[in-house]
Amino acid sequence: MAQTYTGHRSGQVNETGDARSLYLKLYAGEVMTAFQTKNIMMNYTRTRNISKGKSAQFIMTGKHRTAAYHSPGTEIVPAVTAAQTERIVTIDDLLIVNQFIPNIDEAMSQYEIRSVYTQEAAYGLAYAADKNILRMAVKAALTTSKTASAALVQGDVPWDDEDYTANVTYASAIGDSVKSSKFMEGVIEAKRILEMAGAPLDDLVCVCATDIFYHMFKAKTNSEETQNLHMFNSDVGGSGSIVNLDLPTIAGIPVVRTPHLGTGTSSAWATNLWTMSGAGATRAGIVPVGDRPLASPESARTTVYDLPQGAAYGGEGEKVRAIVMNRDAVATVKLLDLSVETDYMVNRQGTLIVSKYAMGHNILRPAMAVALCSPVS
């Protein structure tokens, strides 16, 4: 009579329970690590975690502008309090990346197949989060008036005490958009605008399109004298390095780059955040399906990440090359943080792995984002 093996399995915790427990936890940990590696924008939003519900409320308080000197002995009459409103951030539908790993594939694979699946799951989720936050950041920058706020801020009731900031056209011709001297001047002007608006300066960040970042290093192509690349020149306090393709800060503001803020050269530019065909768009054409905002039908948020077409929004959104912002520009609410579920399916002889999260984003304080813009052609 055949005997059944009763010893412990290498994947068990303390020699008991699920024979694959440690392996699956390792996979989950790898997904989370890879997500953090590829996700850029989450660190630059105002983030709140909730355990229940479909949304979170952020209270917005206006400024007191009624300071006055007091005469001794006179009654202090209560002044009108600062105006208040709220910003609501609603949770999107559950976003998932699902993968099935057949036993036979793992057995025959000559490489670590789990690592490949780990990266693909994490990158898919990280890219989706990054693009949605960037969409909100661009919309925040385009919210330069009460009228724009009504059109661009999800669920917004515009109020009189809201502050707005103007954007910066740092290059009047597309050929100048890749010149480092022009870009540096644009970042400096954006910082000035934010400081005048009372923005905290200690957590500013400049999020720059990857193509713009790398083109700025090409002095000869851009018809710039190398000695004029001030932000790379240590003689005038520059911190960058042409040799290492490194540009840590401009005007004391950290610079990060993202491939999701458009793509192009010194002669043509195209957004990859929205579908930009239609009235007011400056470029005819359709953004690939993979670059379009995902609809969230269960939460009725099918257009929250879209940019309204028209010269005031669609046309301007296409011109954005970078954003100087702080955390208060965009709010993120997490209901379910990044996690992994697994299910060994004996009837399919393999393991189903689902990586997922549930979160939502909205504009919080539009004055805290300034876009650097340039023509698209």
Instruction: Using only the alpha carbons of the chain, give its radius of gyration.
Output: 25
Residue 249 confidence (pLDDT)? 81
- % of the chain exceeding 90 in pLDDT: 17
Among the residue ranges 22-26, 29-33, 324-328, the one predicted with the least confidence is 22-26
Hey, where are the domains in the chain?
120-373
- In sign, the C-alpha dihedral spanning 35, 37, 41, 42 is positive
**Per-residue pLDDT at 164 exceeds 80:** yes
Element (H, E) at 339: strand 330-345
Q: Determine if the pTM surpasses 0.85.
A: no
* pLDDT, tens digit, 9 for 90 and up, residues 63-111: 666 677 888 988 887 766 666 777 888 888 888 888 888 888 777 766 5
Per-residue pLDDT for 2 more than 50? no
- Give the three-class secondary structure for 368: helix
| H/E segment holding residue 140 | helix 113-142
Strand blocks (E) in 176-278? 205-209, 249-250, 253-258, 263-264, 269-270
57, 342 contact by CB (below 8 A):
no
The residue among 26, 14, 34, 22 whose CA lies nearest residue 123 is: 34
Q: Which amino acid is at 325?
A: M
In the chain, the largest separation of any two C-alpha atoms, in whole Å, equals 104
Strand partners, 355: 97, 340
Question: What mean pLDDT is reported for the chain?
Answer: 76
Query: Which of the two residues, 201 and 111, has the higher pLDDT score?
Result: 201
Q: Give kind and range of the element (H or E) at residue 24.
A: helix 21-38
* Integer Cα distance of 273 and 133 in angstroms: 11
> Backbone dihedral region of 255: left (phi > 0), alpha (psi from -120 to 50 degrees) or beta?
beta
Distance set, CA 78 to CA 20, 34, 63, 81 (Å): 67, 55, 16, 8
Q: Tokens 């009725």 correspond to what residue?
A: 300
Residues in the chain: 377
φ, ψ at 361 (rounded to 5°): -140, 150
DSSP state of 348: T
Closest CA to 159 of 367, 324, 311: 367
The span from the CA of 318 to the CA of 231, in Å, is 26
CA distance 355 to 333: 18
Q: Confidence band (pLDDT; 50, 70, 90) for 169?
A: very high
Alpha-carbon gap, residue 291 to 313, rounded angstroms: 18
Q: How far apart are CA 191 and CA 369, in angstroms?
A: 10
Give me the mean pLDDT over the 125-130 stretch: 85
